[in-house]
A and B are shown apart, each in its own frame.
Chain A
Amino acid sequence: MTSIPAPAVARAGTAARTDGLPVWWTGLAAATAWLVLAGATASLPEEHDFPFTLPFAAGAAGAGVALVLAALLAGRPDRAAGLRRRGPWLAALGLGLLAWELVTAKLGLLPMPFFPPPQAILEVFVEDWPKLGGSIVASLLLLAGGYLAGAVVGFTLGVAVGWSRAVAYWVHPVLRFVGPLPATAWLPLAFFLFPSSSSASTFLVGLAAGFPVTVLTWSGVAGANRAYYDVARTLGASNRFLILKVAIPAALPHVFVGLFMGLGSAFAVLVVAEMLGVKAGLGWYLQWAQGWAAYANLYAALIVMALMCSGLITLLFRLRDRVLAWQKGLVQW
């Protein structure tokens, strides 16, 4: 009835043997996937000539060997917990790359210029990194300038609108009329109104980030518990204290929602602005790669862009976790 050997089931999950040397079996499976990837890449014949086939195979082999070592050294379940947790993903990644390699370079099931194999993308990273790196820097500079300006202006405006009836009277209708307009709609106008394409793009990115930050900051200030103000007023707080020490801290959770939304809009506007006007940045690189039918470069730029956006969002989450440490039940990114 209840004599099912549950511990054995549990042990199969962690794959630790009690007798002899403990082995991390998931790690070994992942290592196998990467080694098969290396072998297949190096030995199977290819439809085209890819200069980076062997370096890619060597890299995969290196990853496989490293995983074998990890599987043997981190055999005990209490070691390298972070690596162990990622084990299934590492195996899936190896298998995914193997499938990709097979359907593109080896079997030619997907048409070549549009679907380059992994080694072609590795080639882009190795050969074209000055242009790609320069594009990342250009994008980051434009994004940082526009986003920070938009966030600061949006936050200040949001606090002012939430706090002062007079400001709300004048700003609210403008915000309602102009705010929902996508920032990209301003693009043609911005490019001839501003002296340079980079200042125009900075303005557009700032506009895209500023609107959600303004609205969310405003709602945070307006929605703060009235009793917080009563408490502070009876304790002898000045208006300055009420704004800086009550309204703003109470609004911060909302402000961060606005900052996240603003960052998303800023990414979108950044790419469009770079594609249409600015002669630098990842958006421009994408456009350029498409123009030359350099699809490997396109994929490489997309990967870099994903890493950049994800990294910036992570950074914002870190900042939020630090600033809002007092909140419970925060979403973990």
Chain B
Amino acid sequence: MVAAPLLPAPAAGAGARLGVEDVSHAFAIRGAALPVLDRIGLDVAPGSFVALLGPSGCGKSTLLRLVAGLEPPERGRLVVDGVPVAGPDPSRLLVFQDPTLYPWRSVRRNVALGLEARGLARTSGHRVEEALRLVGLSDFADAYPHQLSGGMAQRTALARALVNEPSLLLLDEPLGKLDSLTRLAMQAELVRLWQESRFTALLVTHDVEEALVLAERVIVLSDRPARITAEIANPAPYPRHRDDPDLVRLRREVLGLLGVGAR
């Protein structure tokens, strides 16, 4: 019934398949190579929600930057829907820990950024309003970023990504800087957006509970250089609650894998 199928009910197969093929990467710091990723191999099914869980600074954010095409990997390759990643593309969008909104643009114009950059602002302007509605910020469309709370700013950043109808959404600890109550609300929000839009979601987090509440698959990474140490399937139905017995059991298991005493 929806004439212009925006974010809800997109065409079948809206989520992309992501292949991470034997990817290694290192940073050069004062001439010395600092390895951050060590032979990561991963296959993410279209439309699934996968979490990369690991200690802080283990290199998981770097993996997202590689998938986004912001940097080329040193070794191995990244394949999205069969096509190797060669650079940034609006179908693969990254949501950062900082909302990184442009302070000189209103909320509406921040959300419109991607459409404007691709010259679609005129023809697809309605999608901006739709995205604002989706994240519940229609009333704040004309506000400037410094007037927003942390949660509102991060919702704006989500809308800025979703308005482009990405097939792969890369979430780099997007809730990391929010207070705990906002965080819970935003977790539910993320699940709802993902279920409505059916993009493939790849979330990086160091919060075990968050990974388990959100993702269908949790990939556990080691300390730097990051290596995949375990993979946990998490088939529990949505909406999930932090105190579901299954999640509590999984949480204990994952904490054990991370070497944090099983309590």
The reply on A296 being an interface residue by CB < 8 A is no
Known: A227-B96, A326-B144, A328-B146. A235 touches B104 (CB 8 A): no
- Interface size range of chain B in the complex: 20 to 34
Q: Flag if A235 contacts B105 (CB, 8 Å).
A: no
Say how far A66's CB is from chain B's closest CB, in angstroms: 43
The reply on A252 being an interface residue by CB < 8 A is yes
- B110 to A, closest residue via Cβ: A231
Known: A230-B70, A245-B116, A326-B144. A235 touches B93 (CB 8 A): yes
Q: Flag if A234 contacts B94 (CB, 8 Å).
A: yes
The reply on A243 being an interface residue by CB < 8 A is no
Contacts of B100 in A (CB 8 A): 225, 227-228, 230-231
Say how far B258's CB is from chain A's closest CB, in angstroms: 28
Contacts of B96 in A (CB 8 A): 227, 230-231
Q: Flag if A326 contacts B113 (CB, 8 Å).
A: no
Tell me if A's interface is mostly helix, strand, loop or mixed: helix
Say how far B50's CB is from chain A's closest CB, in angstroms: 19
- B163 to A, closest residue via Cβ: A235
The reply on B17 being an interface residue by CB < 8 A is no
The reply on A249 being an interface residue by CB < 8 A is yes
Contacts of A328 in B (CB 8 A): 146
Contacts of A257 in B (CB 8 A): none
Contacts of B117 in A (CB 8 A): 232, 235-238, 241, 245
Question: How far is it, in angstroms, between the C-alpha of A225 and the C-alpha of B99 when the chains are bound?
Answer: 12
Question: How far is it, in angstroms, between the C-alpha of A233 and the C-alpha of B94 when the chains are bound?
Answer: 10
Can you give 7 A-B contacts (C-beta < 8 A)? A227-B98, A231-B113, A236-B88, A236-B90, A236-B118, A241-B117, A326-B106
User: Which residues does A use to contact B, with CB under 8 Å?
Assistant: 225, 227-228, 230-238, 241, 245-246, 249-250, 252, 324, 326-328
User: Which residues does B use to contact A, with CB under 8 Å?
Assistant: 68-70, 88-90, 92-94, 96, 98, 100, 102-106, 113-114, 116-118, 144, 146, 160, 164
